[in-house]
């Protein structure tokens, strides 16, 4: 059996927060606002694998109303979600993602991000594809008010 899930996440850029994307801290003057560390890429991946397994979404599993998840490491949340997916008998076939951000440039960090995602999801790096694009100065992402990510995951049983 093969199932496909998609995930999408956005967060506002603010001063006074670390910028963490794909489990990697990037040098930047702003970070993403959220209850957890606001890692848009890992949140999108979490939603994609949960969706493919029919297990809801990140907000259902790790609600932002629960103080337990305040400033949580999104890699830990993805790891817990992956354990739930594995418990259903599914494994990840592949993950494909796009990061939406004007800056900083993501290309220098994509390899590190893949390594974190692979280790967290217990898969090989060649099962992950990461891309980054700008919004050509349009919309809230293009105006550098926030960032987003889109992910698609294929699960197999």
Q: Find the CATH number of the domain harbouring 101.
A: 3.30.1330.50
Q: What is the pLDDT of residue 56?
A: 96
47 in a known ligand binding site: no
Which structural domain range is residue 54 located in?
2-156
74 in a known ligand binding site: no
Where does the pLDDT of residue 71 fall: very low under 50, low under 70, confident under 90, or very high at 90 and above? confident
40 in a known ligand binding site: no
39 in a known ligand binding site: no
Q: How far is it, in rounded angstroms, from Cα 106 to Cα 104?
A: 6
63 in a known ligand binding site: yes
Say yes or no to pLDDT of 43 above 90. Answer: yes
Q: What is the pLDDT of residue 110?
A: 98
pTM over 0.95: yes
Say yes or no to pLDDT of 66 above 90. Answer: no
91 in a known ligand binding site: no
What integer is the mean pLDDT of 97-125?
A: 98
58 in a known ligand binding site: yes
What integer is the mean pLDDT of 4-22?
A: 98
62 in a known ligand binding site: yes
Q: What is the pLDDT of residue 6?
A: 98
Say yes or no to pLDDT of 98 above 90. Answer: yes
59 in a known ligand binding site: yes
60 in a known ligand binding site: no
8 in a known ligand binding site: no
What integer is the mean pLDDT of 117-131?
A: 98
Q: How far is it, in rounded angstroms, from Cα 52 to Cα 36?
A: 23
93 in a known ligand binding site: no
133 in a known ligand binding site: yes
The whole-chain average pLDDT of the chain stands at 97
98 in a known ligand binding site: no
What integer is the mean pLDDT of 11-15?
A: 98
Q: How many separate domains does the chain show?
A: 1
Q: What is the pLDDT of residue 69?
A: 86
């Amino acid at each position: 059996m093969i199932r496909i899930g998609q995930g999408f996440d956005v967060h506002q850029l603010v001063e006074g927060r670390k910028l963490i994307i794909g489990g990697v801290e990037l040098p930047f003057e702003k970070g993403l606002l959220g209850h957890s560390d606001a890692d848009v890429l890992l949140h999108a991946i979490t939603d994609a694998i949960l969706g493919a397994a029919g297990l809801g979404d990140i907000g259902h599993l790790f609600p932002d109303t629960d103080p337990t998840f305040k400033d949580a490491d999104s890699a830990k949340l993805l790891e817990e979600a992956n354990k739930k997916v594995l418990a259903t008998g599914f494994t990840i076939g592949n993950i494909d993602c796009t990061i939406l951000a004007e800056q900083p440039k993501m290309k220098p960090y994509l390899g590190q991000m893949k390594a974190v995602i692979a280790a967290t999801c217990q898969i090989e790096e060649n099962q992950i594809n990461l891309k980054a694009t700008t919004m050509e100065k349009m919309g809230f992402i293009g105006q550098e008010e926030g960032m987003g990510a889109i992910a698609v995951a294929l699960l197999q049983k």
